[in-house]
Structure 1
Amino acid sequence: MPRIRIDYGQHPAQFGHLYTPIGVDGPVPVVMVIHGGYWSADFHLNLATTLASELARRGVAAWNVEYRRVGAGGGWAETSVDIEAALVATSTLLPEASPVALDTADVRIVGHSAGAQLAVWVAGQRDCAVRPTRVVSQAGALDLASRAATRSGGAALTALFGVSYADDPQLYRDASPLHRVPTGVPTVCIHGVEDIQVPAAASRVYVDAARCAGDRAAFWEVPAEGHNAFLDRTTRSWELTLRAVLDQDPWSMP
């Protein structure tokens, strides 16, 4: 699929790859893809390249974003700024660079693991210039505060925030999607039953809270699959991700 690099900032990590469909006049929806990997520079946007390419093959534009991560100029302050800037770029930078007309009124977001936390978090930024029409969370770490409070978040969260939960619990809550409902953005949370990195309960609890707060939210639990099944195009998790991102009405049960 055609791929265009677009810089949305001056830091080397502030860029993304735009994939556009072939043989489509447009305008087409834009799907922003946010990779995971503990918010760490050890992981890169190539984790999401296959998904972005597949989305473009299916007729939408895919915006696979990199961002400043821990060890690459990032921490929560920088990472969160980048994710919002990358979202805003869908209405400013992308239309100028895209060979296909983009429907900037229909921007969707999908993220995996730490990327899912970022996806659902940015959906809660109500004053952002771009408001997504839906968010898809793949094995999302959606409650960083509870993970840190129970010491299940490990060094990754301390490195991300630069401070312990005990010293600044509000910072952790502000970054936790669970503590930001309602977002006003329809959300589908997909999670494997066998996930040991981020238990499926994280998505279930988020969806319950979102619904209670008035959001439209769905929880799809995938039997016999784990955390990284979303990176494998042969899995049920992959299939459900495509449905959640692309279908007209994905909030009913699969």
Structure 2
Amino acid sequence: MSRTRIPYGPGPEQFGHLYLPESGADAVPVVMVVHGGYWNGRYRLNLGTPIAQDLARRGVVAWNVEYRRIGAGGRWPEMSADLLAAYRAIPDSVAECAEKSGVAVDLDRIRIVGHSAGGQLAVWLAAQPVDPRPELVVVQAGALDLASAGERGRRIDYIEDLFGFPYDEDPALYRSASPMHCVPIGVPVAVVHGSEDAQVPVSVAKRYERAAREAGDDVSLHIVDGEDHYAFLDKRSRSWAVSQELLTA
């Protein structure tokens, strides 16, 4: 399957790979794929390549984005700016490139999917005043709570690495980046989580679903029995199948 590299900024980490379905008469949805990996530069957008390719095979445009990460150009300020810039490229660079290949993009059907740390970024992005608004966010084993541990005085090194300082130095910033503390966001969210996840316990997904629902958001929780944090990277898994069903409906 061919891919097109599209920059959305001047830096070496500010680009995405575009995967297109076969051309047709009807406009199709576009899915922005946000990879995970503890927000760390050791992990790259190749984590999102398989799901992006599979989405394109299933008939949607897939926009698999890279962004500045810890050790690769930035922390939270750069990372959040990059996610916004990559999203804003969809109505312009992404849609233009797709249309040149005969694929029309339906900008009323923009969806975002993120795995693990990418799930946090996906929900945070949907909470921002972007235009057009996303139609749906699918969160795969998402790190949906960045602030509750700090509120209890507990320190988590990889979350502190994201911001560059502990919670008590700027609680408001931690809370503004934490999906569970941003509700309501006004965008439907589907949370998919394995029951055997040891990296991000399923209790995080349940707490987010409860908080979002109580705040008035449209949220659904899909717990996949017997699967773990990394099942979302395995095409044979039920977690993969559930995610694809939600993103291509």
CA deviation profile, 1:50-95 (whole Å, cap 9, x unmatched)? 0000000000000000000010111000000111111111111111
CA contact (8 A) 1:40 1:70 kept: yes
**1:50-65 alignment, distance < 5 Å:** 50-65=50-65
Distance 2:74 2:155 in 1: 18
> What is the TM-score with the length of structure 1 in the denominator?
0.93
CA contact (8 A) 2:155 2:166 kept: no
Aligned twin of 1:114: 117
Aligned twin of 2:104: 101
Cα RMSD, aligned residues only: 1.3
Distance 1:93 1:185 in 2: 24
Q: Which secondary structure does the structure 1 equivalent of 2:244 belong to?
A: helix
1:78 aligns with 2:78: yes
Q: Gaps spanning 5+ residues in structure 1: where?
A: 248-254
The 3 A distance-change label for structure 1 pair 153 and 26 is farther
Aligned twin of 1:206: 208
CA deviation profile, 1:110-144 (whole Å, cap 9, x unmatched)? 0000000000011100x222310000000000010
Aligned twin of 2:222: 220
Aligned twin of 1:25: 25
Aligned twin of 1:129: 131
Distance 2:105 2:197 in 1: 36
The 3 A distance-change label for structure 1 pair 47 and 118 is same
- Would you identify which runs of 4 or more consecutive aligned residues in structure 1 move more than 6 Å? none
Which shifted more, 22-31 or 127-136? Answer: 22-31
Q: Which secondary structure does the structure 2 equivalent of 1:18 belong to?
A: strand
Distance 1:23 1:109 in 2: 22
Aligned twin of 1:252: none
Identity %: 52
CA contact (8 A) 1:24 1:59 kept: no
Question: What is the identity, as a one-letter code, of the residue corresponding to 1:209?
Answer: A
Aligned twin of 2:247: 245
Distance 1:153 1:113 in 2: 19
Aligned twin of 1:250: none
Distance 1:217 1:153 in 2: 29
Aligned twin of 1:146: 148
C-alpha displacement of 1:2: 2.5
Distance 1:153 1:237 in 2: 30
Q: Gaps spanning 5+ residues in structure 2: where?
A: none
Aligned twin of 1:231: 233
Q: Which secondary structure does the structure 1 equivalent of 2:241 belong to?
A: helix
Distance 1:45 1:150 in 2: 33
Distance 1:147 1:237 in 2: 27
> What is the TM-score with the length of structure 2 in the denominator?
0.95
